[in-house]
Amino acid sequence: MPTALLADDEPLLLTFLQEKLQLFWPELEIVATANCGPGALQQLQQQSIDIAFLDIRMPGLTGMQVAAACPDCQVVFVTAYDEYAIAAFEQAAVDYLLKPVSDDRLLNCLKRLRQSYSGESARVSVKPAIDIQTAIKPSPLRWFHVGLGQQIRLIALDEVLYFQASDKYTELVTRQETHLIRTPLKELLGQLDPSAYAQTHRSCIVCLRAISFIEKDIFGRQHIHLRERAEVLPLSRLFASQFKHM
């Protein structure tokens, strides 16, 4: 029976990945979890672990550093950042999963891993993905995993009226709720349909169907009024040309 370590500094995402792995690969024994790089490395050094699912940006040590210190363990990186993909495959990572990880993408990764443990118990190496661009291409964005107390909730993209940058986080605003996600606004913009979402300001992206009207004040500044929220969003001159037809 193959064994696994899961390491992520976000407890809710760690729990979510653990539940998905138990559902999709019941035979995989998750023997350890960690919320930081040193903790993950300690577990890998103290136990016989076959597969490590590592976040890349973790406190203390990065997932890359942990993987480099344990070359005999098969590694799958699970991260929100695609800029490390080439380095990850140069380090012979089995796979590189971008958050939010879709079920199809995870199942594809597990299919390749399971092949190495089918039949005899002797370990067989899994070849890293050949097509890096395919591996790092984000899954179609349809859902967001958000934390609410001790729970993880799924928020459909269709429910989102606008996104607002907030320090290191992004506010995801629906008709009645506001949630925080860690995906940067710039990264979100690249995953959204440009015919349905548009940037209105360096810190804001709005769903076009959520717009009621655009108003110009006495100083020439433009503001976006929403159908189902009372707040008014800024429309900077840099992005105003996208809304001329409205």
Q: Residue 150's pLDDT is what?
A: 65
Which are the contacts of 201, defined by CB distance < 8 A and separation ≥ 6?
233, 234, 235, 236, 239
**What amino acid occupies position 98?**
L
Say which CATH architecture domain 143-243 belongs to.
Beta Barrel (2.40)
pLDDT 10s digits, 63-88 = 989 998 888 899 999 887 767 666 76
Between CA 222 and CA 88 the distance in angstroms is 45
Task: Give the count of alpha carbons within 13 A of 155, CB side only.
Answer: 23
Of the candidates 228, 185, 234, 27, the one whose C-alpha atom is nearest the C-alpha of residue 116 is 27
3-136, superfamily in CATH? Response regulator (3.40.50.2300)
pLDDT category at 135 given cuts 50, 70, 90 is very low
CATH topology identical between 3-136 and 143-243? no
Domain ranges across the chain: 3-136, 143-243
Over residues 26-38, the mean pLDDT reads 94
pLDDT 10s digits, 213-233 = 999 999 889 999 999 999 999
Q: Residue 149's pLDDT is what?
A: 66
Q: Is the Cβ–Cβ distance between 67 and 91 less than 8 Å?
A: yes
pLDDT category at 162 given cuts 50, 70, 90 is very high
DSSP states of 115-151: HTTSSSSS--PPPPPS-HHHHHSPPP--EEEEEETTE
